[in-house]
A = this chain, B = another copy of it.
């Protein structure tokens, strides 16, 4: 796959950072610790989520991509992205959540270019409408160059209870970024009633966890709360051979908690409202909205070979991944995830609880299945 070059590179100072971590426990047994969702083709397109993310960003930034992944998945990640070179990868000796991962990329980037702008984009989210995505990122880069911490907030299309929300504030006037707004607050995942209120108000966006910011600004913001972490990250960037030695001292913390929420509370975060289609593929309910309805088995969304599925009157999502025939009969919103060593049967309404199944398996000594 040759890396597409942007036609006119108006974001030459901008690098895309892809944290490729997280197990995707709510997609068990499709997603496993050894083969997390970002490495998998969950859309039936032949591309893993990581490959789709990398390709999408390459249309904007060419090969200015840094993939940050764990040692456990390094080989798989490199194999899936053969068009990238060694400089495109940072390998965490152990998982430390998103802040150390993105922070390390920031520290590496500010050494290359003190004016560097970075954008962090999860390896396992789905985005369509690439033109709209590109336009939003460009606006965000314009604002980031002026020193802002910028996020992309997704215009909600239904009252999701699975996502956090961003309450938007007044417009922020920046030439070249006409959509820019202040952020009033981050809001936790709501209940169904509240989600409907948010949707109807037009004042809330989904928090998609995408941040665009100058590398130096990100590290300076982080330093206000976690100065030691920033020292360590900059030390590693200055002397990469010290990575293994120093990494263990870093706290596990997400970029949301470490930087974005404090910045929002301080009125420092801005947002580009974004109308492209986005999904975090967080659970099987999410997966079922991504897959199209099967032509062969109406009512079902099928991942895998439709010839393996026979349906009579059921609706929902079936992953046919063991080679066996899966028959569904008369159940509404069923979720059947069939893999060679484990089968999950649940319904859409219980999708969020799949995480607890993984915890249960671990607690009963079946880590081999997780």
Contact = CB atoms under 8 A, between A and B. Distances in A.
B329 A342 contact: no
A344 interface: yes
Interface residues of A, number: 37
Given A350-B330, A350-B331, A342 B357 contact: no
Nearest to A327: B344
A110 interface: no
Nearest to A331: B347
Interface in A329-348: 329-331, 334, 336, 338-347
B329 A357 contact: yes
Contacts of A349: 330
A330 B346 contact: yes
A364 interface: yes
A338 B346 CA distance: 15
Contacts of A132: none
A276 B90 CA distance: 72
A327 B310 contact: no
A347 B173 CA distance: 57
Contacts of A328: 345-346
Interface stretch (A49-57, A287-295, A318-326): A318-326
A11 interface: no
A293 B345 CA distance: 19
Contacts of A354: 329
A369 interface: yes
A209 to B, nearest CB: 26
Interface-central residue, A327, A349, A350, A366, by most chain B CB under 10 Å: A327
Given A324-B322, A366-B310, A338 B343 contact: yes
A324 to B, nearest CB: 6
Given A330-B346, A330-B347, A336-B343, A325 B357 contact: no
Contact of A342 (B29, B314, B327, B347): B327
A340 B325 CA distance: 9
A361 interface: yes
A364 B310 contact: yes
6 contacts: A313-B350, A327-B357, A330-B346, A330-B347, A330-B353, A336-B343
Interface of A: 29, 310, 312-314, 322, 324-331, 334, 336, 338-347, 349-350, 353-354, 356-357, 360-361, 364, 366, 369
Given A324-B343, A327-B344, 19 more contacts: A310-B366, A313-B350, A324-B339, A325-B341, A325-B342, A325-B366, A326-B343, A326-B345, A327-B357, A329-B350, A329-B354, A330-B346, A331-B331, A331-B334, A331-B347, A331-B350, A336-B343, A336-B345, A343-B343
